Chains A and B, each alone.
Chain A
Amino acid sequence: MFNAYAESLVRYAETILKNTYEAEDIVQQLFVQLWDKRSTLVITTSLKSYLYRAAHNSSLNKIKQHGVRDSYAEYYTYVGNAETGSAAQRVEAKEVNTAIETAIEELPEQCRKVFRLSRFEQMKYQQIADELGISVKTVENQMGKALKHMRLRLKDYMLLLMMYLMNQN
Chain B
Amino acid sequence: MELNNEHINELIAKYLAGEATPDEAIMLDEWSNASAGNLAYFNESKKAFGIKDTKVDTVKMFSAVLAQIEPEAGKEVKIIPLKLFFTPLRIAASLVVISLIGIMAAIYVKGNKNLPDQQIASLGEVKETRLADGTKVALNKNTSLTLVGGFNGKERKLKLQGEAFFEVAHNDNKPFVIDAGGVLIRDIGTAFNVKANPGSDSVFVSVTEGIVDMSSEANTLRLVQNESAVFVRSTKQLIALNLVESNINSYHTKMFSFKAKTLSEVIETINGVYGYLIKLENKDLSNCRITVDFNNESPETIVAIITETLGLTFHKTNEGIYLIEGSSCIQ
Flag B8-51 by CB within 8 Å of A: 1 or 0 each.
Answer: 01111111111111110110010000000000010011011111
Note all chain B residues with C-beta closer than 8 A to A17: 18
Note all chain B residues with C-beta closer than 8 A to A81: 52
Supposing A15-B18, A147-B48 touch, asked if A52 and B56 sit within 8 A by C-beta, the answer is no
CA distance in complex: A53, B181 (Å): 21
**Shortest distance from the beta carbon of A89 to any chain B beta carbon, whole Å:** 10
Supposing A8-B29, A100-B50, A141-B10 touch, asked if A56 and B21 sit within 8 A by C-beta, the answer is yes
**Shortest distance from the beta carbon of A62 to any chain B beta carbon, whole Å:** 12
**Shortest distance from the beta carbon of A11 to any chain B beta carbon, whole Å:** 7
State whether the Cβ of A16 lies closer than 8 Å to any Cβ in chain B.
Answer: yes
State whether the Cβ of B58 lies closer than 8 Å to any Cβ in chain A.
Answer: yes
Which single member of A53, A124, A143 contacts B13 (CB below 8 Å)?
A143
> Are the C-beta atoms of B44 and A151 separated by less than 8 Å?
yes
State whether the Cβ of B73 lies closer than 8 Å to any Cβ in chain A.
Answer: no
Supposing A32-B68, A52-B22, A147-B9 touch, asked if A10 and B17 sit within 8 A by C-beta, the answer is no
**Dominant SS among interface residues on chain B:** helix
> Are the C-beta atoms of A11 and B19 separated by less than 8 Å?
no
- Which residues of A from 28 to 60 have beta carbons under 8 Å from B? 28, 31-32, 35-37, 39-40, 42, 48-49, 52-53, 55-56
**Dominant SS among interface residues on chain A:** helix
Supposing A77-B52, A151-B45 touch, asked if A16 and B18 sit within 8 A by C-beta, the answer is yes
CA distance in complex: A18, B50 (Å): 12
- Which residues of A from 125 to 147 have beta carbons under 8 Å from B? 125, 140-141, 143-147
CA distance in complex: A127, B186 (Å): 40
Supposing A147-B45, A155-B44 touch, asked if A48 and B26 sit within 8 A by C-beta, the answer is yes
CA distance in complex: A95, B233 (Å): 55
- Which residues of A from 101 to 129 have beta carbons under 8 Å from B? 103, 118-119, 124-125
Flag A67-95 by CB within 8 Å of B: 1 or 0 each.
Answer: 00000001111100100000000000000
Provide 8 A-B residue pairs closer than 8 Å at the C-beta atoms, listed in order of the A residue: A10-B56, A32-B65, A32-B69, A40-B116, A52-B25, A56-B25, A76-B50, A150-B49
Residues of chain A touching chain B, judged by Cβ–Cβ distance below 8 Å, are 2-3, 6-8, 10-12, 14-18, 20, 24, 27-28, 31-32, 35-37, 39-40, 42, 48-49, 52-53, 55-56, 74-78, 81, 96-97, 100, 103, 118-119, 124-125, 140-141, 143-148, 150-151, 153-155
Residues of chain B touching chain A, judged by Cβ–Cβ distance below 8 Å, are 5-7, 9-23, 25-26, 29, 41, 44-45, 47-52, 54, 56-58, 61-62, 64-65, 68-69, 99, 102-103, 105-106, 116-119, 121
